A and B are shown apart, each in its own frame.
Chain A
Amino acid sequence: MGRILIVDDTLFMRTLLKNILFSGGHTIVGEAENGEEAIAKYQELKPDLVTMDVVMPKMNGIDALKNIRAADPNAKVVMCTAVGQEQMVKLAVKSGAKGYIVKPFQAPKVLEEVKNVLGA
């Protein structure tokens, strides 16, 4: 089970992910509303995994991913984005994302993906 940082600009999505991950036995060590906050929280909390929304104010998820990976090349980040933004996948994978979730998602598959990434 992992220590997870959830990054999403909507409270609704953060709460949903928190519930799903908690039900899978994970610990939610923190939440962030944008890319800048995500970088700061990552440095402070050193989570095992980050779920990262792509479209966010101040700094988007891809830039935050690049920053986090630059500081910690072993960082495990699972990108989380809306339907229609799948084109971001390549960019995210190129930037070091370990997994990708498309909204809307179903709890068992999210837990499976997180488990896979944590175990990788």
Chain B
Amino acid sequence: MTDLPVKIEIDGKWANAKLTLGTDEIRVTGPKSFAIPSKSIFDLDAKGSVLGITTKEQENQPIKIASVDKVLSIVKRHILATCNAYRLAAYFMSPAVRGGVLVKDARWEKGGIDVLKTGIWFFSNTEQICVPLADVASIELTKREVQGKNTDVVKIDHIEGTEVVTSFVLCPLTTLQILHNFLKDATKSMDMEGDLDPKSAQVAMLVYSGMDTASIENMLGVSLKEIDRIYDTLIRLGLAEVVMVRREVKLTTKGVRYITDATKV
């Protein structure tokens, strides 16, 4: 049994409490004392220093606890090892690639993977990394060189802030296939039906790379009207969203007078 100091949210207010991590349950001792059966936990999310624990009993109101990183890491590891999840022992590398650049100190971590309701968790003694299913951009069963051998791995591309991050999972092939199929199914809504015309695909690639509208216009030699039409297609297909609307203006007579006056010697 381990006792950990945390803060727990009760009726919108944070209160000091103690968590006791047991084999089958987590006991909360504080202004309101109760037990969370480990097997009733089916989702976990982490935002900064706050953990949201979703249980069968409180499906729409996750139990929120806050603490320092060290404590949260112990809690996460315990929950991920005991909760109700599709779990497999695996090696993982996350992140392996960030924005198209290989992460220099990336290495294989021995641990596990939990697939929960809203996210995939990679966890080991030192790392607990969550990839929300809504942020999974692509899943692929592919090969990667591991210790000199071409080995089957699942490659997961996900969005982290504004960056596209790639992670790899390594475990026996049959398990990889199950994981791959499961994740494919869970993120089916992200699949694109059909294909884009070559010009639209080029525009999408340039947006991915971080180019703005003016740069795309110059690079592809297409009009703003044409870019707008392509943006409309990307937005309609759910491939892009508007983040900013730029405006073009012309000076009024008053503006012209100001400039004329301002440039007088």
Contacts and interface: CB of A to CB of B under 8 A. Distances in A.
A42 to B, nearest CB: 23
Interface centre among B97, B162, B163 (most CB of A within 10 A): B97
B202 A103 contact: no
Interface residues of A, number: 25
Given A86-B144, A87-B144, A90-B145, A110 B206 contact: no
Contacts of A109: 98-101, 163
B206 A16 contact: yes
Contacts of B209: 16, 20, 104-107
Contacts of B142: 84
A16 B100 contact: no
A87 B155 CA distance: 14
Contacts of A106: 99-100, 162-164, 208-210
A108 B163 CA distance: 9
Interface residues of B, number: 24
Contacts of B100: 101-106, 109-110
B256 interface: no
B99 A108 contact: yes
Interface in B191-208: 202, 205-206, 208
Given A106-B163, A109-B163, A16 B211 contact: yes
A57 B210 CA distance: 28
A89 interface: yes
Contact of A113 (B101, B145, B150): B101
Given A87-B150, A104-B205, A106-B164, A112 B101 contact: yes
Given A20-B210, A86-B144, A100 B101 contact: yes
Interface string A75-89: 000000000101101
A99 B99 CA distance: 14
Contacts of B164: 104, 106
30 contacts: A12-B202, A16-B209, A16-B219, A20-B210, A86-B145, A87-B143, A89-B102, A99-B101, A100-B102, A101-B100, A101-B101, A101-B102, A102-B97, A102-B166, A104-B164, A104-B208, A105-B99, A105-B101, A106-B99, A106-B162, A106-B163, A106-B210, A107-B209, A107-B211, A108-B210, A109-B98, A109-B99, A109-B163, A110-B99, A113-B101
